């Protein structure tokens, strides 16, 4: 409870102290005083029953196969552990791409320096730095992925691999697989609203293993991209490296990844601005097979509405993720104001959500990056 924000904050009188008074029905929100709780009821009553239902799934949300799961979920939520201390215990605090996984690292982030030069800063046994066997069956969970890549369950790499694995999972949900004829050679993805992942772009190299033999083109579109990088193309043809000099990932001059001998790679192109403003520029050469908007926050930003209208019009599968089920519910409600059509993918838990809780959430519901998703 310590550190929770009053749910009525910003809606009138100043909060008088810590938010320690729970809503007795849903237990998902807290207030600094009885007066604030009463004043907020006119708004909260519309969400209270829904939040009460969502609170019943807390154990499912926190269910990960890792040896550090309790430390990264329950202990973060109750303030016994923090992201900084979690990373410090593993020698990763303020190191390379990991520095953007905690509050003190994120505050010094600059999107002018995109994350391409970093490796894992881990021994090879803990990371997917080398050649792999081909994906023979669809991966349904972190346990499947770690088993396939021969990574032990004490490795923290899932904290950043949730970006490419969420793309993989979203593609499968809408029927896109590496064996489908229309994407057997090229897969075009429009990726909307990237922020922190711009500082961790090297992990998108894992898509080489997830879609073997396929050239993947990802158009990254969003206001966080620096204007001076407009149109820039970034080619990734290998995995992020481990910290061992003798490892194959360092020795191999040519890319030795199975299935990429034909020269397949991941190409990222940068487009600053909003999707609806840049769409014509982006599709001059190709149309997308998939649109994905990770941690979209659709209900929080009115700038999404014209982009949603565009997505509806071009009728390409689009998957949106957010930090909790409630955020996805609010996003779906916003979309209903534009579209008469039901969701093509109902709101559902993402098995490849980031396995460390977000600190200082406004709800007592555990929140995770890329936690829930839905599709239109």
Task: Give me the torsion for CA of 345, 60, 200, 311, rounded to 10°.
Answer: 10
Average pLDDT estimate for 68-91: 92
Contact yes or no for 64/337 (Cβ under 8 A): no
For the chain, domain boundaries: 69-105+115-375
pLDDT(15) > 90 = no
Q: Please tell me which residue, 85 or 9, carries the higher pLDDT value.
A: 85
Average pLDDT estimate for 190-214: 93
CATH code assigned to 69-105+115-375: 3.40.50
pLDDT(137) > 90 = no
pTM across the whole model: 0.88
Give the pLDDT confidence score for residue 265 in this predicted structure: 87
Tell me the per-residue pLDDT of 319-351, one tens digit each, with 9 for 90 and over. 999 999 989 989 999 998 888 788 999 999 999
Average pLDDT estimate for 189-205: 95
Cα gap 263→108, rounded to integer Å: 36
Tell me the per-residue pLDDT of 241-292, one tens digit each, with 9 for 90 and over. 999 988 888 775 444 333 334 457 899 999 999 999 999 999 998 899 999 9
Tell me the per-residue pLDDT of 144-192, one tens digit each, with 9 for 90 and over. 999 999 999 999 999 999 999 999 999 999 999 866 656 668 999 999 9
- What's the mean per-residue pLDDT of the chain? 88
Range from 77-86, 244-253, 356-365 carrying the lowest mean pLDDT? 244-253
Q: Given pLDDT bands bounded at 50, 70 and 90, which one contains residue 109?
A: low
């Amino acid at each position: 409870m310590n550190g929770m924000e009053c749910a009525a904050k910003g809606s009138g009188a100043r909060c008088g102290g810590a938010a320690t008074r729970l809503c007795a029905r849903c237990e998902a929100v807290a207030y600094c005083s009885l007066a604030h709780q009463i004043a907020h009821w006119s708004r909260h009553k519309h969400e209270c029953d829904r939040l009460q239902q969502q609170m019943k799934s807390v154990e499912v949300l926190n269910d990960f196969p890792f040896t550090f799961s309790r430390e990264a979920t329950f202990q973060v939520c109750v303030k016994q552990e923090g992201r900084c201390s979690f990373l410090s215990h593993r020698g990763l605090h303020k190191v390379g791409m990991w520095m953007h996984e905690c509050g003190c690292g994120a505050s010094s982030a600059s999107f002018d320096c995109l994350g391409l030069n970093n490796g894992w800063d881990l021994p090879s046994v803990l990371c997917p730095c080398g050649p792999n066997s081909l994906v023979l069956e669809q991966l349904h969970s972190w346990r499947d992925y770690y088993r396939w890549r021969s990574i032990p369950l004490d490795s923290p790499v899932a904290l950043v691999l949730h970006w490419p694995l969420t793309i993989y999972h979203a593609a499968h949900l809408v029927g896109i697989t590496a064996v489908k004829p229309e994407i057997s050679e090229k897969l075009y993805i429009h990726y909307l609203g990237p922020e922190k992942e711009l500082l961790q772009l090297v992990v998108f190299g894992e898509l080489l293993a997830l879609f073997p033999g396929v050239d993947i083109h990802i158009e990254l579109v969003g206001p966080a991209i620096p204007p001076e990088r407009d149109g820039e193309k970034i080619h990734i043809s290998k995995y992020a490296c481990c910290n061992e000099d003798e490892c194959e990932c360092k020795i191999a001059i040519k890319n030795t990844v199975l299935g990429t001998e034909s020269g397949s790679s991941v190409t990222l192109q940068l487009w600053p601005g909003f999707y609806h403003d840049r769409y014509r520029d982006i599709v001059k050469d190709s149309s997308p097979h998939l649109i994905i908007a990770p941690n979209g926050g659709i209900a929080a930003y009115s700038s999404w509405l014209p982009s949603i209208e565009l997505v509806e019009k071009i009728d390409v599968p689009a998957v949106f993720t957010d930090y909790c089920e409630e955020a996805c519910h609010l996003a779906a409600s916003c979309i209903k104001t534009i579209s008469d059509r039901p969701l093509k993918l109902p709101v559902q838990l993402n098995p490849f959500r980031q396995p460390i809780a977000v600190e200082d959430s406004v709800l007592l519901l555990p929140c995770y990056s890329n936690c829930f998703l839905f599709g239109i």
